[in-house]
């Protein structure tokens, strides 16, 4: 499965926390269906913006002044991802471009990434170009200074591993294992969502919003501190108890075995480190893990973690049933002293007073041009403006593997 499909699978997995808010009421089913429909996307553009505000209290005057200086820079920063993706309908070929813009107190850092994947028969191509981050250029060896791009070509990996005596590398087998696991992961998420039954409706229909020629259906998820803990507690326990989890973990550990074999690491697959052994350990530890989870949530039941403003997620679904936008606001209140006291560690024991943090995180995501014609242009790379990733790694490893003859005549007693 190409990188694009893996990204979609990962997005589905990462949104599991929201998607599994299924009882299943009508609003929750609409959100669930929209997230699964994302797997049908063959092209799109997306922009995600992260911003935050952190406040600290409970410090001495001097420490508070130092903290305020640090927080002023943190709070004056934000992060933006812009990406464009196109993929074939069978999921075997894809191209993607991503621009990352990090604003650190008014200083902008831009990094670009281009990816070309072709997993059709006899192709097996993964080719990436990474724009060298400006700050990184100061730390590169002299022969690489001034280079604008890093080229990562999987065709060079087999030669690299052989040259460095790192064993064999069977690219086709590794990618096949990766593809199977990715599909299993998506099947697992789908199966688990169907089992999930929190017995509380957490998704609310908020009406419609007109955007250009589209009418968006708006849904909202809102959680306070108590509900968040209940939801997390239930989710963790239901994951452990789920037969879908058992099956996925078995597939996961098997895929780890397969990938290690594809890299010539047969000797490492012995005894307690085999996938079967690790899976059996997982199964045998489930009851202990459940007791630990119960204890954890009992311990933190009276400690506030989610702030008074809670966690609010607004989801926007277009006329075609695609999730085209989310606005997420997360308010956290973190008091390390409360955790220390809960577990018997007090400030008087160590003469340390931890600050209390009030954290607000905002995440805005907009998806456009779904299944539309999108053009992705790769930069032209030459020997003058780029360097090969594996050549760079080889050049950095070489000094550490000097010939043994250099040490034959050394007298350690001198």
The pLDDT tens digits for 61-102 are 988 999 999 999 899 899 999 999 999 887 778 999 999 999
User: For residue 12, what pLDDT band results from cuts at 50, 70 and 90?
Assistant: very low
pLDDT digits (tens, 9 = 90+) for 213-256: 889 999 999 999 999 999 999 999 998 999 889 998 888 888 87
The pLDDT value recorded for residue 8 is 39
Q: How many CB atoms lie within 10 A of CB 115?
A: 23
Q: Which two tokens stand for residue 105?
A: 């107190």
Q: If you average pLDDT over residues 99-124, what whole number do you get?
A: 86
- Going by DSSP bridges, is the β-strand pair 149-153/386-388 parallel, antiparallel, or unpaired? parallel
User: For residue 170, what pLDDT band results from cuts at 50, 70 and 90?
Assistant: low
The pLDDT value recorded for residue 348 is 55
> How is the chain split into domains, by residue range?
3-405
Alpha-carbon distance of 393 to 381, in angstroms, equals: 19
The pLDDT value recorded for residue 278 is 82
Lowest pLDDT segment from 18-22, 318-322, 356-360: 18-22
User: For residue 13, what pLDDT band results from cuts at 50, 70 and 90?
Assistant: very low
Q: Is residue 2 over pLDDT 50?
A: no
Of 228, 363, 249, 236, give the one whose Cα is nearest residue 301: 228
The pLDDT value recorded for residue 185 is 84
The pLDDT value recorded for residue 299 is 92
H-type helices in 96-156, by residue range? none
pTM over 0.75: yes
Q: Is residue 281 over pLDDT 50?
A: yes
Token look-up 């609409």 returns: 30
| 87 phi, psi to nearest 5 deg | -150, 155
User: For residue 211, what pLDDT band results from cuts at 50, 70 and 90?
Assistant: confident
Max intra-chain CA distance, the chain? 84
Backbone conformation region of residue 271, classed left if phi is above 0, alpha if psi is from -120 to 50, else beta: left
Q: Which two tokens stand for residue 232?
A: 């997390």
Q: Is residue 367 over pLDDT 90?
A: yes
Q: How many CB atoms lie within 10 A of CB 107?
A: 11
The pLDDT value recorded for residue 350 is 57
Burial class (CB in 10 A: 0-12, 13-18, 19+), 228: middle
Q: Is residue 126 over pLDDT 90?
A: no
Mean residue pLDDT across the chain = 81
Residues with Cβ < 8 Å from 104, sequence gap 6 or more? Answer: 73, 76, 77
Q: Which two tokens stand for residue 102?
A: 């990090």
Q: Is residue 1 over pLDDT 50?
A: no
Alpha-carbon distance of 372 to 391, in angstroms, equals: 38
User: For residue 406, what pLDDT band results from cuts at 50, 70 and 90?
Assistant: very low
Q: Which two tokens stand for residue 183?
A: 């599909």
Alpha-carbon distance of 279 to 271, in angstroms, equals: 12
Lowest pLDDT segment from 31-35, 60-64, 181-185, 213-217: 31-35
Lowest pLDDT segment from 255-259, 371-375, 389-393: 255-259
The pLDDT value recorded for residue 120 is 75
Lowest pLDDT segment from 8-17, 43-52, 82-91, 212-221: 8-17
Tell me if residue 297 falls in helix, strand or coil.
helix
């Amino acid at each position: 499965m190409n990188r694009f499909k893996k990204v979609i699978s990962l997005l589905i997995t990462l949104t599991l926390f929201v998607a599994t808010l299924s009882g299943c009421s009508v609003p929750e089913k609409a959100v669930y269906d929209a997230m699964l429909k994302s797997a049908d996307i063959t092209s799109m553009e997306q922009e995600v913006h992260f911003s935050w505000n952190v406040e600290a209290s409970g410090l001495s005057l001097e420490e508070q002044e130092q903290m305020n200086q640090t927080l002023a820079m943190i709070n004056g920063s934000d992060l933006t991802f812009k990406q464009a993706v196109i993929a074939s309908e069978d999921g075997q070929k894809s191209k993607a471009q991503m621009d990352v813009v990090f604003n650190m107190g008014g200083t902008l850092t831009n990094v670009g990434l281009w990816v070309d994947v072709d997993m059709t028969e006899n192709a097996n191509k993964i080719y990436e170009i990474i724009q060298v981050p400006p700050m990184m250029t100061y730390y590169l060896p002299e022969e690489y200074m001034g280079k604008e791009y890093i080229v990562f070509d999987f065709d060079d990996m087999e030669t690299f591993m052989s040259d460095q005596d790192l064993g064999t590398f069977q690219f086709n087998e590794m990618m096949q294992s990766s593809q199977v696991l990715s599909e299993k992961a998506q099947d697992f998420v789908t199966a688990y969502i169907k089992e999930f039954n929190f017995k509380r409706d957490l998704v609310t229909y908020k009406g419609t919003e007109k955007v250009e020629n589209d009418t968006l259906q708006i849904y909202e998820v809102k959680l306070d501190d108590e509900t968040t803990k209940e939801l997390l507690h239930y989710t963790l326990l239901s994951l452990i108890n789920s037969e879908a989890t058992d099956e996925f973990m078995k597939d996961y550990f098997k895929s780890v075995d397969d990938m290690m074999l594809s890299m010539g690491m047969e000797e490492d697959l012995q005894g307690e480190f085999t996938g079967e052994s690790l899976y059996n350990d997982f199964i045998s530890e489930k009851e202990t893990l459940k007791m630990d989870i119960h204890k954890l949530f009992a311990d933190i039941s009276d400690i506030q973690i989610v702030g008074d403003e809670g966690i609010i997620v607004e989801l926007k679904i277009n006329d075609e049933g695609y999730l085209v936008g989310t606005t997420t606001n997360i308010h956290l209140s973190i008091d390390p002293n409360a955790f220390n006291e809960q577990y018997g560690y007090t400030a008087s024991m160590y003469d340390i007073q931890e600050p209390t943090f009030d954290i607000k995180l905002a995440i805005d995501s907009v998806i456009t041009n779904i299944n539309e014609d999108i053009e992705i242009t790769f930069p032209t790379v030459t020997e003058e403006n780029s360097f090969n990733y594996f050549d760079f790694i080889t050049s950095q490893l070489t000094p550490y593997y000097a010939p043994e003859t250099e040490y034959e005549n050394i007298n350690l007693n001198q």
